[in-house]
Structure 1
Amino acid sequence: MWPAPVTLTGEHVILTPLSHDHAAALRMACADGDLYRLWYTAIPTPEGMVAEIDRRLGLQTAGSMLPFCVMTPDGTPVGMTTYMNIDAANRRVEIGSTWYRRSVQRGPLNTEAKRLLLSHAFDTVNCIAVEFRTHFMNQQSRRAIERLGAKLDGILRSHQRGPGDTIRDTAVYSIIASEWPAVHANLTWRLEQPRR
């Protein structure tokens, strides 16, 4: 399997291979802020958490996803993220299907999680590009992706069907290997700044 399952550890976050052992804590995490009620994203309900873990692990078995449980340094599960749409032949991955409980949003956890995932993708498994996709209307996600240093590749109009018969326009961003040193320096600088 490329990339192989791995645990990535930082000062503010631990990314560990997703398992059913995380289900109970992730049910509580998605209930923090009723994240699953957001119309423009697909976050599992507490009742649907086991099915979502099954789905992600099934995609891992098929070779198209590497799912992680996002944990605080004390080992508390607070969300999920993945390498997805894995293209081993072209050495490309997408970082996506990410969500965090409300209480850890807008802190250093997301910045460090993305730095760990990007570093592993570029420095360890030699990706040529890493992609990010989000709903065009998800302004919080788009701003976070742009703060990483990803560039907008374009908008896929009427790309997918969403909840309630909505049609999703997808904003596609990427970071390419030659941009990684500057993106890494920026993420490291951001993590070193005092939080207000």
Structure 2
Amino acid sequence: MPVPVFLHGRSARLEPLGERHVEALAMAAAEDRASYAFTPVPHGVAAAERYVADALAARAAGQALPFAVVRAADGLVVGSTRFCELDYWQGPVPWPPAPREPLGDPLTAVPDATEIGGTWLSARAQGTGINTEAKLLMLRHAFETWGVRRVSLRADARNLRSRAAIERLGATLEGVRRAHTRGLDGMVRGTAFYSILDEEWPHVRDRLEQRVAAGPTTERIRPLLSA
């Protein structure tokens, strides 16, 4: 199970999510909720407490590695993101295929594949370049520290803004699983699945580093990755 880490960038810092972030997350989520139609975002302190507790339980179970997204300029918490769907490929091949637990010491194991998801940003942080750099930091950690073979991303198929933002990262659309699950609005939704492979990472990294160096665009990007 990967240990919690701090990831530092020029405009963004990712901190292991903890109880100390509850009130700041609630404040970030309360700024303007108009863009959260497809993305689960806590509303209020009580909801933020449950949100953090659920994330920490997933981390304790080895199912996720959640972060608070922090604006580097002033230390303001502006959202959250996480690694999830951690998959380990060592040992015998199971059938049917399914995510596997790590062999050996789980405290030192690193995954062979993972997903980035559960991402949301406050209204003031959207379109500032923070999300792009946060994804660069996470992808770099996954491919260059863990040595994963693939990173997956997904979005509600109706969420065209999020899908466009994922594609701008350099991810490849694998397809849309139709009538996959229920959305936050209760409607049956499809899910668009994307991925980046290890052999694609150098090209993706170069493009993302250029985008981060160039600074934010004028377009306001809505929260990515409604799972």
SS in 2 for 1:45: coil
Residue 107 of structure 2: aligned partner: none
Q: Distance in 2 between matches of 1:171 and 1:105?
A: 22
Describe the superposition over 1:86-118 as per-residue Cα deviations: whole angstroms up to 9, x where unpaired.
Answer: 113361110000000010111211111000000
Say if 2:39 and 2:120, in contact at 8 Å, map to a contact too: no
Q: Which runs of 5+ in 1 are unaligned?
A: none
**Structural mapping, 1:30-179, within 5 Å:** 30-34=29-33, 38-46=36-44, 47-73=46-72, 74-89=74-89, 91-179=112-200
What is the identity, as a one-letter code, of the residue corresponding to 1:88? Y
Is the Cα–Cα contact under 8 Å of residues 118 and 130 in structure 1 kept in the other structure? Answer: yes
Q: Distance in 2 between matches of 1:88 and 1:72?
A: 32
Distance in 1 (CA, whole Å) between partners of 2:20 and 2:184 is: 29
Q: Tell me the CA shift for residue 76 of structure 1.
A: 1.3
Greater RCO structure (CA 8 Å; 6+ sep): 2
Q: Deviations over 1:104-135 (max 9, x none)?
A: 11121111100000000000000000000110
- In the other structure, the counterpart of 1:27 is 26
Cα distance in structure 1, aligned partners of 2:215 and 2:79: 24
* Count of matched residue positions in the alignment of Structure 1 and Structure 2: 194
Amino acid at match of 2:3: A
- Larger relative helix fraction: 1
Counterpart AA for 2:197: I
Look up the SS of the partner of 1:184 in the other structure.
Answer: helix
CA RMSD of superposed structures (Å): 1.4
- 1:162 Cα offset (Å): 2.3
Give the TM-score, by structure 2 length.
0.82
The question of whether the paired residues in 2 share the 8 Å contact of 1:64 and 1:87 is answered with no
Gaps of 5+ in 2: 90-110, 219-227
- d(CA) in 1 for partners of 2:16, 2:199: 28
Same amino acid, percent of matched pairs: 40
